[in-house]
Amino acid sequence: MSRLENLLGIDVPIVLGPFGGLSSVALTAAVSDGGGLGSFGLYGYTPERIRDTVAQLRAATSRPVAVNLWLPRGDEVAPADLDVRPFLDAAAPLFAAAGVEAPVPPAAFLPPIADQLDAVFEARPDVLSVVFGIPDADTLAAARDHGIRVIGTATSVAEAVALEDAGVDAVVATGSEAGGHRVSFLCEPSASLVGTFALVPQVVDAVGIPVIAAGGIADRRGVAAALALGAEGVQVGTAFLCTRQSAATAAHRDAIGRAADTDTVLTRAMSGRLARGIPNRAMREIEASGMIAPFPAQNWLTGVFRAAATASGDAELVSMWAGQAAALSRYDAAADVLAELRAGLPV
């Protein structure tokens, strides 16, 4: 058993990428039941919803599960800080296309992170993974007290070292090929676009804790390459997002299956933070307008028409997150993805 497997209580060093907004209990449980570490993204979840979600995960699988939280970077805006009307006006055609009214700003865009963490500690998942920052000493102490392992996420060597110095149990080294948000916190994401093949061995050389490689890994070849670079495990997102167990719409999954290597772009249009996805009407029109509110206001704003579009199956108005290896996402079932990835592990 590898160091990472022993640390997390899993059979194979394969971690499901935590999808903020696209996670499902079914997919998380399928990966955990298959011997890996299923992960569930809790972005924007209230404490009550966090407790309920972990309870659902516990009911769905007896194997270890992870949940993921976004730590504050300190640049987030509150409703009182921003006049959202110009941004709502610019997005009016998208609200109309989705058949919804422009929203009224809430009292807060996001629940307080302290309340979310308290709910996680109460619910006691096996693992807490974090993005966009370093958990403080009190958070790490509370996690240890509740028997929860903590995984940090780095987009640079400096971030990985800072996470190790803070005391996390393992670190995900995520390259710029990865789908979804670029989770940098020491520098702007645009200044931390290091590819997986370059990032992983440098992180392995710089830290002593287990390193999990992420970004561009979708089949047995990616797993073998990551391990050859010194990683002790892999985190895979897009290949699992393409399966029927994920919460992605059928149109989103179809777009992933049809994407070529150059068909994803980095954009701030959908959330106000840099993320990689497949362009669609919403992304193109927001980019063209130049009216992108700061995070998390933009994410709240687009979330209104994205929710309606998800319900109707309209792929032109959702966040089409996907990584650069999307074309390698060939399987419809999570078990088949796991089998393919496991084929890259040493015998």
pLDDT digits (tens, 9 = 90+) for 80-135: 999 999 999 999 999 999 999 999 999 999 999 999 999 999 999 999 999 999 99
Specify the pLDDT at position 21: 87
| Separation CA 104–CA 108 (nearest Å) | 11
The answer on pLDDT for 264 being more than 90 is yes
Check residue 290 and give its pLDDT: 95
Q: What percent of the chain has pLDDT over 70?
A: 100
User: Total domain count for the chain?
Assistant: 1
User: For the range 254-259, what are the long-range contacts, defined as Cβ-Cβ under 8 Å and sequence gap of 24 or more?
Assistant: 254/315, 255/280, 255/315, 255/320, 255/322, 256/322, 256/326, 256/329, 257/326, 257/329, 257/330, 259/322, 259/326, 259/327
pLDDT above 80 (res 311): yes
Whether cis (ω within 30° of 0) applies to the bond prior to 296 is: yes
- What pLDDT was estimated at residue 327? 96
Q: What pLDDT does residue 7 have?
A: 97
Q: Let me know: does 157 contact 192? Beta carbons within 8 Å.
A: no
Best CA proximity match to 47, nearest among 117, 144, 108: 117
What mean pLDDT do residues 210-220 have? 98
Complete edge-to-edge strand list for the sheet that includes strand 180-181: 180-181, 275-277, 265-267
Asked if residue 299 is part of any domain, the answer here is: yes
- What DSSP string describes 188-245? -GGG----HHHHHHHHHHH-SS-EEEESS--SHHHHHHHHHTT-SEEEE-HHHHTSTT
Instruction: Please tell me whether residue 8 adopts helix, strand or coil conformation.
Output: helix
Contact 265, 276 (CB under 8 A): yes
Domain that holds residue 87: 3-342
Q: Quick count: other Cβ atoms within 10 Å of Cβ 91?
A: 25
Angle at 210 between CA 204 and CA 213, to 5 degrees: 65
Helix axes 157-166, 196-206, angle to 10 degrees: 40
- Is 66 a domain residue? yes
- Tens digit of each residue's pLDDT (9 = 90 or more) over 176-210: 999 999 999 999 999 999 999 999 999 999 999 99
Q: CATH number of the domain that 263 lies in?
A: 3.20.20.70
* Predicted pLDDT at 179: 97
Q: Looking at residues 66-83, what average pLDDT do you find? A: 96
In a domain, 108, yes or no: yes
Mean of pLDDT values over 52-59: 98
Question: What is the per-residue pLDDT across 21-47, written as a single tens digit (0 to 9) for each?
Answer: 899 999 999 999 999 999 999 999 999
Cα angle 180, 11, 219 (rounded to 5 degrees) comes to 45
Mean pLDDT of 216-232: 98
- What are the tens digits of pLDDT across the range 275-302? 999 999 999 999 999 999 999 999 999 9
**Mean pLDDT of the region 316-330:** 96
**In whole numbers, what is the pLDDT of the chain averaged over residues?**
97
State the average pLDDT over residues 221-241. 98
Backbone angles phi, psi at 245, to 5 degrees: -80, -15
Average pLDDT for residues 244-258, to the nearest whole number? 94
pLDDT at 1 over 80: no
Helix, strand, coil distribution of the chain in percent, nearest 5: 45, 15, 45
* Residue 347 counted as domain residue: no
pTM, full prediction: 0.97
Q: What tokens does 147 get?
A: 């028997």
